[in-house]
Amino acid sequence: MDYEIVVRNRRSVRSFQEKDVPDELLIKLVEHASLAPSPGNLQPWEFIIVKNRDLIEKIVSTTYSGNVKTSPPQTWIKSASAVIIVCYLSRPVSARYGEEGRVPGLLGIGAAIENLLLSAVNFGLGACWVSGFKSEELSKILNLPKGSEPISIIPVGYPKEIPDSPPKLPVDDIITLIK
């Protein structure tokens, strides 16, 4: 698919068909995510692909709506074929850059997530970048080792419906061109 079409058609999809996404396709999304830049090319990420329905139910229980911790869980996630948990591996970054490396490391994670989301569009899939969850609870459920921090939950599936694009700021409002 043409890049212009892919980037303009990326949406936060929250409604999925009851259709399995093949493992090979999920792995391809992660492969594309892993091509993102990262500080010192340390690639401080891990991607956990979950298709087990019982585990997805537990993952959903850690989420909350509207980024308000007291809000109910985001139950729509259960309709996804799979959930990809994106984790930040702090040790390689802090070993090289100290605490100053955390922000660049997280920016690398963001770049990887965007690659994954764009790849999903390219393959006719829908996905959503979910950040409203209780990190410590999710870490326990996934039995993550120290130094592996869940950053995002990405539900993936074939879209049941594709939402309209929310309004975006005009480009002229966000650019300062210095000549």
Q: What are phi and psi of 159, to 5 degrees?
A: -65, 135
Q: Which two tokens stand for residue 86?
A: 């994106």
Question: Residue 47: is its pLDDT beyond 90?
Answer: yes
Give the orientation angle of helix 102-122 with respect to helix 90-97, to 10 degrees.
140
2 or 65, greater pLDDT: 2
Checking if the pLDDT of 62 tops 90, the result is: yes
pTM of the model: 0.94
Structure tokens at 92: 């390689």
DSSP codes, 62-105: TB-GGG-TTSPP-GGGGGSSEEEEEEEEHHHHHHHHGGGGHHHH
- All structural domains of the chain, each given as residue ranges with its CATH number in brackets, are 3-174 (3.40.109.10)
pLDDT tens for 117-130 read 999 999 999 999 99
Tens of pLDDT, residue by residue over 133-170, are 999 999 999 999 999 999 999 999 999 999 999 999 99
pLDDT of 67 above 80: no
